[in-house]
């Protein structure tokens, strides 16, 4: 009789839930074997589910390829809501049928996985561009217009094997340029290209906020990335407003009025 270790090795070679060998393993009454069978089946099912999810997230891209488009760019931004720091946008062009496991809306990816998936996107991408709009500009033109500016910068900044996309998939935004485009609500959860842009923008901005935390200590920027956490608000009360803060955002706007 095979040992449980040997059976685990045999199970690792099975990748099909319909494989006929399951029958003999399921007939083995040993609890260790049954636990190994359940784990392997669960892993295989998770792999199948992930493959289906990735296929669904490529449906916009596949439709555009059939229409003759080649360089399809996903565009997304990070940082519209924080009280401090820039809004950062990314433009990413992935190869045809590129599937990066667990790539999703950056808000749905565990933080500990951000860097790993970011590196996979950077390695796979045909081209990546980054755009950023400062707090000063955000205060001048409003966050919506500043977001569009960052997205346009990201397109112009494209570096890699492709210098210009011929179609744009954008997360819930329309851009006033001549490149054909689609605005997709919650696009980072429905398009793999937009999801790629989402994680690139997220990691890029997080790294910037870590650097800003060293320049402006006491606000917790390395952890809250500019959002209004308790530590951040306490820092505003005790240390005041920095050049990184958005002066048209509350409660900063009211704080500045009170001081004047």
The CATH number linked to 145 is: 3.30.420.10
Mean pLDDT for the chain overall: 94
Q: Is 77 marked as binding a ligand?
A: yes
Whether residue 112 is found in the same domain as residue 93 = yes
Q: Is 61 marked as binding a ligand?
A: no
Q: What is the pLDDT of residues 196-254, one digit of tens each?
A: 999 999 999 999 999 999 999 999 999 999 999 999 999 999 999 999 999 999 999 99
Spatial CA neighbour of 208 closest among 224, 220, 225: 225
Whether residue 75 is found in the same domain as residue 176 = yes
Q: Which residues pair with 72 in a beta bridge?
A: 167
Whether residue 135 is found in the same domain as residue 220 = no
Q: What average pLDDT does range 171-191 have in this prediction?
A: 96
Whether residue 197 is found in the same domain as residue 75 = yes
Q: What average pLDDT does range 56-71 have in this prediction?
A: 97
Q: Is 166 marked as binding a ligand?
A: no
Whether residue 188 is found in the same domain as residue 75 = yes
Q: What is the pLDDT of residues 100-113, one digit of tens each?
A: 999 998 888 889 99
Whole-angstrom distance, CA of residue 110 vs CA of residue 112:
5
pLDDT at 45 over 90: no
Whether residue 149 is found in the same domain as residue 243 = no
pLDDT band at 183; cut points 50, 70, 90: very high
Whole-angstrom distance, CA of residue 170 vs CA of residue 149:
13
Whether residue 144 is found in the same domain as residue 98 = yes
pLDDT at 54 over 70: yes
Compute φ and ψ for 28, nearest 5 degrees.
-80, 120
Query: Percentage of the chain with pLDDT > 90?
Result: 77
Compute φ and ψ for 139, nearest 5 degrees.
-65, -30
Q: Which residues pair with 74 in a beta bridge?
A: 92, 169
pLDDT value for 228: 97
For the chain, what is the domain count? 3
Which has more confidence, 176 or 17? 176
Whether residue 47 is found in the same domain as residue 67 = no
Whether residue 88 is found in the same domain as residue 101 = yes
Whether residue 160 is found in the same domain as residue 146 = yes
Whether residue 136 is found in the same domain as residue 231 = no
Where in the sequence is the domain holding 228, given as residue range(s)? 211-259
Whether residue 239 is found in the same domain as residue 132 = no
């Amino acid at each position: 009789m095979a040992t449980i270790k040997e059976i685990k090795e045999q199970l690792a070679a099975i990748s099909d839930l319909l494989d006929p060998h399951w029958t003999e393993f399921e007939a083995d009454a040993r609890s260790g074997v049954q636990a190994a069978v359940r784990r392997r089946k669960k892993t295989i099912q998770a792999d199948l589910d992930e493959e289906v999810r990735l296929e669904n997230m490529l449906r916009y891209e596949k439709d555009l390829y059939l229409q003759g488009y080649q360089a399809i760019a996903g565009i997304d931004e990070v940082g519209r809501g924080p009280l401090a720091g820039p809004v950062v946008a990314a433009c990413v062009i992935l190869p045809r049928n590129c599937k990066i496991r667990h790539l999703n809306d950056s808000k749905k990816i565990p933080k500990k996985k951000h860097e790993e998936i970011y590196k996979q996107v950077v390695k796979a991408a045909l081209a990546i561009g980054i755009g950023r709009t400062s707090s000063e500009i955000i205060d001048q033109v409003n966050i919506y217009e500043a977001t569009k500016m960052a997205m346009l910068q990201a397109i112009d900044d494209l570096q890699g094997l492709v210098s210009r996309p011929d179609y744009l998939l954008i997360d819930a935004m329309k851009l006033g340029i001549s490149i054909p485009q689609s605005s997709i609500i919650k696009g980072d959860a429905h398009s793999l290209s937009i999801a790629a842009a989402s994680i690139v923008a997220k990691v890029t901005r997080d790294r910037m906020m870590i650097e800003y935390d060293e320049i402006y200590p006491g606000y917790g920027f390395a952890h809250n990335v500019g959002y209004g956490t308790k530590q951040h608000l306490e820092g505003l009360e005790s240390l005041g407003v920095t050049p990184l803060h958005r002066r048209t955002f509350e409660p900063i706007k009211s704080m500045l009025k009170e001081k004047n």
